[in-house]
Structure 1
Amino acid sequence: MSAFTYVLTTNGLLFLISIVFWKFPPKTINHIYGYKTPKAMQNQKIWDFANAVFNKNLLIYAGISLIAGLFFANFTNTELTWQPMVLIFLSVIVSIVKTERALSDNFTEEGKKKKN
C-alpha cells in the first residue's frame, strides 16, 4: 500500500467522520451517536454545548492530522507505519481534553451554567 493511500484511509477517514459529526450533530442525548461522557450527558444544554465544542475541535485537529500525514507521505523516504495512527490518536485526545476543559470552564459539577 502506498503512503498516500495509507494516509487517506486513516487520517482522511477521521477527517471525513469529523465533517459528518460537524454537519449532523446529535439532536438529543443518546448512547449511540455523539460526544458521550457522564458530564456531557447530564442535561440537554450541556449535551449540545459538548457536541458543538468537540465536533469543532475534531474537525480542526483531524484536518491538521490529514495535512501532516500527507506531508509525511510526500517528504519521507521511509515507509509510513505508525506515524499516521499517532496523528489520529493525538487528534482525538486533544479534542477530548479541550472539550472537557470547556465543560469545566462553563458548567458546574451539578450541570448548571457558570456565571461569568
Structure 2
Amino acid sequence: MVLTHWLVGPQLVGLIILIVGLIQKYFPPKRINNWYGYRTDIAKKSQQNWDYAQAYSANLMLKYGSGAIILGLLLADVLPLKYELVLPITAMFSGISIAVMMLVKTETHLEKKFNN
C-alpha cells in the first residue's frame, strides 16, 4: 500500500513521458509517417517541419516528464496515506495537461518558425 503511494501519481506519468521523449530524441522517425513521432498536419507539411517537430517535441517531453516526476515525488512525500486517491487523480490531470501543453507549444512554435 505504501509502495503504490510512491509509484502511482504524476511521477509515473512523468516517467513514461520521459522514456518516450528519450526514445524520440535518440531514435526519431526519419521520414514523415502516420505511425510514430509527433504527427500533426503542420509537422507533416514538409520534411523540414517533420524533423524540427520531432526534436522540439522530444525536448518538451524530457522537460515536462522530469517536472512531473519531481511534482509527483513531492506530492507523495507531502500527502498523508489517507489521501491516497489524490495521486491517481493528479496523475490523470498531469498526463492530460502535459499532452495539451506540448501540443499547443509545439504547434505555436512550428507556426512561428515556418510561417504556416
The TM-score by the shorter chain falls in which range?
Answer: 0.7 to 0.9
Return the letter of the residue paired with 1:102: H
Mark the runs of 5 or more structure 1 residues left unpaired by the alignment: 110-116
The corresponding residue for 1:83 is 90
Shift of 1:66: 1.2
Mapped pair 1:15 → 2:21: no
Question: In the comparison of the two structures, how many residue pairs are matched?
Answer: 109
- Of residues 18, 41, 46, the one that matches 1:43 is 46
Name the TM-score, length of structure 2 as normaliser.
0.85
Shift of 1:75: 1.1
After superposition, what is the alpha-carbon deviation per residue over 1:55-114, rounded to whole angstroms, capped at 9, x for unaligned?
Answer: 1111101110111011111111111230122112211211111111111111133xxxxx
Mark the runs of 5 or more structure 2 residues left unpaired by the alignment: none
The corresponding residue for 2:6 is 4
2:14/2:64 contact within 8 Å kept:
no
1:69/1:87 contact within 8 Å kept:
no
Return the letter of the residue paired with 2:103: I
Name the TM-score, length of structure 1 as normaliser.
0.85
2:18/2:65 contact within 8 Å kept:
yes
Q: Which has the higher helix share?
A: 2
Shift of 1:14: 2.1
Distance 1:12 1:40 in 2: 25
Shift of 1:38: 0.8
